[in-house]
């Protein structure tokens, strides 16, 4: 991966963007893509949409949501301990012992998530389901008054954000779900900027996906595309104790997935597969028998309907502080999308037979 692209990935991963609080990361997205885009706009919802060859036809929209799961300050007790609620789907069992950051009007505040240690749990409590109300954030103050001097109800909270290389080309970080989607769609637009295209291309860094596909709904209505490709993470199944019979066989480093199922236009799916084979881009197939919980769902149902596809980035340990992806999968996904968009013509027929 070229250095500028890696630096962009690192910046967006290490910038907070819980659902509803995405603007710091959206500023980085705008700055990165502006030199190669014909237009860059931000709508009232906070979606950033970069346009290329904007008068071309048909209109193609790429969507990758930039929001991450997080927490929100709900209550501060008399001792200064901070109780939180989830933003998006968080498994409370992964939270105890985590280092977190609270984003306040005074700046970031470090904290740790505490819970009673195993030594003082009752026998029947050991191994029981962890509930959010049993956890708190400790910022090291003595009482409520001092806590409230720096922290306010409603402040967002994330895991401590850091991109860390592992073996080979694997990297770990919180929030790959789905800042890698934003990364891929912006990289695809960058690659398309050096190609001659008939289509107009709009790459959207969408907001609030984790709480209901909200940004994709509004941005797709505004862009009004005929063709849409969403990029999100998918579950890698190449690690212990996961049932491939129900989730499928998806490997990190073997290329992005091309989803098949009712959320995907069969002609666009066929075009992606044909392009991948012609350009020798590695890919895997992923089956989804219903509408997916991704931006592809919102795009497909926009206005009178959009010919939609979904590209998945294999991800281990989703919605934890140690998600793992492959850099080569990100590069392959961006290349696959760019090569596919480049051959879409106004006469390309996406009506299913």
Active site residues: 209
Pair 207, 214: CB distance under 8 Å: yes
Distance, CA of 151 to CA of 240 (rounded, Å): 40
Distance, CA of 164 to CA of 185 (rounded, Å): 22
Tokens of 87: 């933003």
Tokens of 28: 């980085």
Cα-trace Rg, the chain: 21
**What is the bridge-based pairing of β-strands 59-65 and 227-235?**
parallel
Pair 284, 313: CB distance under 8 Å: no
Cβ-based neighbour number of residue 144 at 10 Å: 16
Distance, CA of 175 to CA of 321 (rounded, Å): 8
Distance, CA of 218 to CA of 153 (rounded, Å): 28
Distance, CA of 234 to CA of 135 (rounded, Å): 29
Distance, CA of 330 to CA of 282 (rounded, Å): 11
Pair 153, 76: CB distance under 8 Å: yes
Distance, CA of 108 to CA of 187 (rounded, Å): 30
């Amino acid at each position: 991966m070229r250095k500028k692209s890696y630096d962009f990935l690192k910046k967006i991963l290490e910038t907070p963007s819980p659902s509803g609080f995405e603007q710091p990361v959206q500023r980085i997205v705008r700055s990165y893509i502006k030199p190669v885009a014909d237009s860059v706009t931000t709508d009232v919802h906070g979606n950033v949409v970069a346009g290329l060859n904007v008068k071309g036809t048909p209109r193609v929209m790429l969507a990758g949501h930039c929001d991450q799961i997080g927490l929100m300050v709900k209550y501060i007790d008399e001792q200064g301990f901070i109780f939180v609620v989830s933003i998006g789907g968080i498994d409370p069992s992964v939270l105890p012992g985590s280092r977190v950051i609270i984003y306040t009007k005074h700046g970031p505040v470090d904290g740790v998530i505490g819970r009673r240690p195993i030594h003082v749990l009752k026998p029947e409590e050991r191994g029981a389901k962890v509930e959010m109300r049993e956890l708190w954030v400790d910022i090291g103050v003595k009482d409520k008054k001092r806590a409230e001097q720096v922290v306010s109800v409603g402040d967002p909270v994330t895991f401590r954000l850091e991109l860390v290389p592992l073996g080979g080309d694997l990297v770990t970080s919180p929030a790959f779900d789905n800042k890698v989607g934003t990364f891929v769609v912006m990289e695809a637009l960058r690659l398309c900027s050096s190609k001659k295209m008939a289509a107009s291309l709009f790459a959207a860094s969408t907001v609030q996906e984790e709480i209901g596909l909200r940004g994709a709904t509004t941005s797709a209505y505004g862009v009004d595309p005929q063709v849409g490709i969403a990029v999100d993470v998918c579950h890698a199944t190449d690690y212990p104790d996961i049932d491939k019979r129900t989730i499928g066989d998806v490997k990190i480093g073997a290329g992005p997935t091309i989803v098949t199922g009712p959320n995907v236009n069969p002609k666009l799916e066929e075009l992606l597969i044909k392009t991948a084979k012609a350009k020798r881009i590695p890919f895997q197939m992923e089956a989804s028998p219903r509408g997916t919980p991704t931006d592809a769902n919102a795009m497909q149902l926009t206005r009178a309907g959009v010919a939609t596809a979904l590209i998945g980035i294999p991800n281990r340990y989703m919605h934890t502080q140690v998600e793992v992806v492959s850099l080569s999968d990100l590069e392959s996904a961006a290349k696959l999308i760019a090569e596919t968009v480049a051959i879409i013509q106004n006469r390309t027929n996406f009506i299913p037979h």
